[in-house]
Amino acid sequence: MTAEPFKIGLLGHGTVGAAFAELLPERADQIAATTGLRPEITGVLTTSRGTFEEILAASDLVVELIGGLEPARGYVLAAMAAGKHVVTANKQLLAHHGEELWAAAREHGVQLRFEAAVAGVVPVIRVLQESLAAAHVDRVHGIVNGTTNFILTQMASTGASYADALAEAQRLGYAEADPSDDVNGKDAAAKMAIIARLAFDTPVHLDDVRYEGIEQITQEDIAYARDLGLSLKLIGTAERVGEGISVRVHPAFLYAGHPLASINGSFNAVTVESPAITEITMSGPGAGGPQTASAVLGDVISAMIPPASTPETTQQLPVVADAESAFYLHLEVEDRPGVLAQIAQLLGLQGASIKSVVQQGTGSGARLVMVVHPMLESKFFAAVDLISRLDFLRGTPRAIRVLDEEFAA
Amino acid sequence: MTAEPFKIGLLGHGTVGAAFAELLPERADQIAATTGLRPEITGVLTTSRGTFEEILAASDLVVELIGGLEPARGYVLAAMAAGKHVVTANKQLLAHHGEELWAAAREHGVQLRFEAAVAGVVPVIRVLQESLAAAHVDRVHGIVNGTTNFILTQMASTGASYADALAEAQRLGYAEADPSDDVNGKDAAAKMAIIARLAFDTPVHLDDVRYEGIEQITQEDIAYARDLGLSLKLIGTAERVGEGISVRVHPAFLYAGHPLASINGSFNAVTVESPAITEITMSGPGAGGPQTASAVLGDVISAMIPPASTPETTQQLPVVADAESAFYLHLEVEDRPGVLAQIAQLLGLQGASIKSVVQQGTGSGARLVMVVHPMLESKFFAAVDLISRLDFLRGTPRAIRVLDEEFAA
Ligand SMILES: NC(=O)c1ccc[n+]([C@@H]2O[C@H](COP(=O)([O-])OP(=O)(O)OC[C@H]3O[C@@H](n4cnc5c(N)ncnc54)[C@H](OP(=O)(O)O)[C@@H]3O)[C@@H](O)[C@H]2O)c1
Ligand SMILES: NC(=O)c1ccc[n+]([C@@H]2O[C@H](COP(=O)([O-])OP(=O)(O)OC[C@H]3O[C@@H](n4cnc5c(N)ncnc54)[C@H](OP(=O)(O)O)[C@@H]3O)[C@@H](O)[C@H]2O)c1
């Protein structure tokens, strides 16, 4: 089946634009299989390449990844006036000119999608606009800037000063050469303006958002807080206050049990509170070229396909019965020489590699508790079956899987 | 403006159906304001009330909350054949007959939505079908049964036995009188079948899912694991294995850093891993009448409105500059009599209530670190301003907000 082309005009070919141009062809076959349309980039605009009018004329949908207010605003308006759907990652544009742009989208009957503008792959826009479209939202808390969360995590985990943590973030590409809008809270403020607009169905401009950044945070603050069981994050808040709303960004301490307390490194996360649902928390990488491009692609596909269709399956993958897993193994044994060696040998014959062993108790009440590295379950259980027949074993071996060793401290 | 009616036929009026019938009128004004359509329930079917044919004839959309395979399957097929959109919360139906139902939806050009079937308000279906429609998903891990997560959390936090924790879950309404399908893993298996189908675009039937429950878990397992820094969850896994897939549910230990390790009580959570995005984790209440009804309502509204529209704002809420917050306050003071009393008095005059105070060091290097309960920021800063002028103060007071005291241990 040859799928019809779906033509995408790409405005901007920087960090995100180039990542999008790389991701799209990788996924085009799969998209063609499920939608019947094959997306392709039919024009690219940069400061040195392409003209907007030609690109517009040749596209079904326009992706805006230039950033800034102008000419991005003019291009987005012109594209919608020409009846094209638009996908953008431009939070400043929406925090300044959102109402104008959304009105134009309604007027021209086109879609204006912007998931990538707010929290990268964390689908907060879609959830607010769709899942919670009719929910009465009381409050949204978010960690919506990955740069600052990385810096604060560094300071907490390594004891680094603010300046050193910032330098490390720049070295690793988590902070720009000029990090001002990240560390002073303005980037997060623009995102919270967009979130508040959607959560409360009321106009919210960047100017409505009070913000403070993290430049004043000292290592001492973080150390004291740790003593109090708190962790420090740059938190965006959008909440109802009496008959009005409050939208703000500032550093805040969180108790260990808070759903945002465990969001570390450059990840973003958003918690939405509403009486009917209690709360939803979503987390994931908040920025980075490939991640942002993936959020852009999700929006592009949504504009291509009819809503909520469950396409035909495109594959018939075999379901495999065996799987790999690490295991915890708990054995009650008689405490006599050679016990551990025999058990280790039976495990070793099946290819198991033992990560840790703890022996507890003595005599006939002794216990061996071990964790083995990931291996095929069938082989592990074959070893356990042999172990269970050893004469020094008391009681049935107890085996429980252990997930994802990469999270071991 | 009088909105046109949007007629909903409700099949089932039990835990979820009754909660939906209660939620809908509460939200109808807001929905009418944003969509121009006023949703109303035009017929209800139970074992003692209503006839399916009459309800079908009088509805634009059918909500199926009967549960089980038949007559639910027949009703859903008949509704779609009649050109009606369908929203369902029925995981068993989809895990058994999904391909037949999705094919019927495509054939008749209607929407079949089922967010509430899998993880309650956690929007995993929407994210897999839309945000990640073209992503190459490698793996999904989920805590998709709230009953078992509640029981395991109880066992870990109170030291209760499995039997006692189950009894407590039943007492609190987190487990049914007959909890078999929850505790033996079958409920989670049905949900993982649906997730795997969407993640990998391949047919997955409940029979393809291997599952084990939590009935064999002992307090001893949990205690030993805690010593190893692990927590125990009932985990559903859907992953690629070579050229095939593996879908399974079993208890598993998680390291403390794993995004699912901190999901406690009756909450559900799902982590989706894909190379382009790294991972997304979503969490929230997984069941309960009002929560499930809210997920159903999100699907109903999605079926009513055009995709990705950002409706006009329906309100013009004032943006309030002041806000309430708890605070951490760090003061460097000279250690002499009466210092704390004077500070406490200035705070008290503004209505502050002190939650905790720690004094460190002595002489001119003494420090007071305190946390005050939530109060208006303007009042707190007024107190801090006065405190900063006290003659025994060394250095500027440092104030940082503290979020959500309810998470304090
Ligand atoms: N980077 C991220 O991780 C990230 C994450 C989330 C959202 N975003 C948003 O995504 C957007 C793009 O960010 P980025 O990091 O990809 O920016 P970038 O690397 O600076 O790239 C900007 C691109 O736009 C082009 N451009 C700039 N001004 C132009 C003009 N007047 N006419 C035509 N083309 C112009 C540039 O052309 P040249 O190639 O000729 O310089 C460049 O290709 C921004 O709105 C940003 O806020 C970025
Ligand atoms: N409960 C939850 O928290 C939850 C969470 C997620 C998903 N779900 C799913 O939601 C669905 C409904 O669950 P529920 O807990 O609300 O069930 P429920 O309380 O048992 O209610 C079932 C309703 O369906 C009606 N019904 C049963 N058989 C019928 C038949 N043959 N013809 C007409 N009506 C019939 C019942 O009528 P009577 O009133 O006359 O008995 C009752 O009103 C199930 O698919 C379940 O898996 C439930």
User: Which atom of ligand 2 is the closest one to the Cα of B13?
Assistant: 43
pLDDT higher than 90, residue A98: yes
- Which residues does chain A have within 8 Å of residue B299's beta carbon, measured at their own beta carbons? 308
Residue where a domain stops, chosen among A255, A285, A315: A285
Structure tokens at B228: 């190893």
User: Which atom of ligand 1 is the closest one to the Cα of A117?
Assistant: 7
B182-229 tens-digit pLDDT: 999 999 999 999 999 999 999 999 999 999 999 999 998 888 778 777
CA B50 to chain centre: 33
B158-189 tens-digit pLDDT: 999 999 999 999 999 898 889 999 999 999 99
CA pair distance B16, B14, nearest whole angstrom = 6
Write the DSSP string, A312-323: PP---PPBPS--
Please compute the mean of the pLDDT values over residues A185-189 and round it to a whole number. Answer: 97
Q: Residues of B annotated as binding site for L-homoserine?
A: 176
For residues A149 and A57, membership in a common domain is answered with no
Per the domain annotation, does A278 fall within a domain?
yes
Residue-level pLDDT at A408: 62
Please give the sequence-ordered ranges of beta strands (E in DSSP) within B242-364, or none if there are none: 244-255, 267-274, 278-285, 324-333, 354-360
Q: Which of A132, A239, A243 is closest, CB to CB, to B298?
A: A132
Residue-level pLDDT at B409: 54
Share of chain A above pLDDT 90, in %: 69
Residue where a domain stops, chosen among B117, B147, B165: B117
CA pair distance B138, B122, nearest whole angstrom = 20
A312-369 tens-digit pLDDT: 766 777 777 788 888 989 999 998 888 899 999 999 999 999 988 888 888 778 889 8
Calculate how far, in angstroms, residue A28's C-alpha sits from the geometric centre of ligand 1.
23
B73-98 tens-digit pLDDT: 999 999 999 999 999 999 999 999 99
For residues B140 and B274, membership in a common domain is answered with yes
For residues A25 and A140, membership in a common domain is answered with no
Torsion from C-alpha of B35, B36, B38, B43, nearest 10 degrees: -80
Where residue B379 sits, what CATH number does that domain have?
3.30.70.260
- Are B137 and B273 in contact by the 8 Å Cβ rule? The answer is yes
B254: contact with A, CB 8 A cutoff: yes
Q: In chain A, what's the furthest Cα-to-Cα distance?
A: 85
B106: contact with A, CB 8 A cutoff: yes
For residues B156 and B221, membership in a common domain is answered with yes
Please compute the mean of the pLDDT values over residues A287-298 and round it to a whole number. Answer: 92
For residues A183 and A91, membership in a common domain is answered with no
Contact B280 A282 (CB under 8 A): yes
The whole-chain average pLDDT of chain A stands at: 91
| Domains of chain B: total | 3
Residue-level pLDDT at B40: 97
Window B:14-33, CB contacts with A under 8 Å:
23, 27, 30-31, 33
For residues B181 and B231, membership in a common domain is answered with yes
For residues B146 and B277, membership in a common domain is answered with yes
Per the domain annotation, does B125 fall within a domain?
no
Please compute the mean of the pLDDT values over residues A399-407 and round it to a whole number. Answer: 78
Q: In what order do the strands lie in the sheet with B61-64?
A: B37-45, B4-11, B61-64, B85-88, B112-113
Per the domain annotation, does A10 fall within a domain?
yes
B301-324 tens-digit pLDDT: 989 876 655 667 667 777 777 888
* pLDDT confidence tier of residue B346, bands split at 50, 70 and 90: very high
Domain that holds residue A143: 131-285
Other C-beta atoms closer than 10 Å to the C-beta of B180 total 11
Amino acid at B268: N
Where residue A189 sits, what CATH number does that domain have?
3.30.360.10
B228: contact with A, CB 8 A cutoff: yes
Per the domain annotation, does B342 fall within a domain?
yes
Does the active-site annotation cover A379? Answer: no
Burial of residue B228 (number of CB atoms within 10 Å: 0-12, 13-18, 19+): middle
Other C-beta atoms closer than 10 Å to the C-beta of B66 total 23
Residue of higher predicted confidence among A184 and A278: A184
* pLDDT confidence tier of residue A409, bands split at 50, 70 and 90: low
For residues B36 and B175, membership in a common domain is answered with no
Calculate how far, in angstroms, residue A75's C-alpha sits from the geometric centre of ligand 1.
14
Torsion from C-alpha of A122, A124, A129, A134, nearest 10 degrees: 130
Where residue A102 sits, what CATH number does that domain have?
3.40.50.720
Per the domain annotation, does A310 fall within a domain?
no
Structure tokens at A124: 């907060």
Calculate how far, in angstroms, residue A63's C-alpha sits from the geometric centre of ligand 1.
11
Window B:351-390, CB contacts with A under 8 Å:
356, 358, 369, 371
CA pair distance B94, B105, nearest whole angstrom = 13
* pLDDT confidence tier of residue B325, bands split at 50, 70 and 90: confident
Please compute the mean of the pLDDT values over residues A146-166 and round it to a whole number. Answer: 96
Please compute the mean of the pLDDT values over residues B16-41 and round it to a whole number. Answer: 93
Residue-level pLDDT at A35: 84
CA pair distance B257, B251, nearest whole angstrom = 18
For residues A221 and A139, membership in a common domain is answered with yes
Is the minimum distance from the CB of B14 to ligand 2 under 6 angstroms? yes
pLDDT higher than 70, residue A270: yes
Per the domain annotation, does A124 fall within a domain?
no
For residues A110 and A219, membership in a common domain is answered with no
Per the domain annotation, does B244 fall within a domain?
yes
Residue where a domain stops, chosen among A257, A285, A313: A285
- Are B225 and A404 in contact by the 8 Å Cβ rule? The answer is no
- Which residues does chain A have within 8 Å of residue B295's beta carbon, measured at their own beta carbons? 131, 277
CA pair distance A264, A275, nearest whole angstrom = 28
For residues A138 and A274, membership in a common domain is answered with yes
pTM of the model: 0.90
Per the domain annotation, does B290 fall within a domain?
no
Q: Which of B30, B235, B258 is closest, CB to CB, to A134?
A: B30
Window A:115-174, CB contacts with B under 8 Å:
115, 121-123, 126-127, 129-136, 141
For residues B51 and B155, membership in a common domain is answered with no
Question: Which helix (DSSP H) or strand (DSSP E) does residue B143 occupy?
Answer: strand B139-143
Residue-level pLDDT at B219: 92
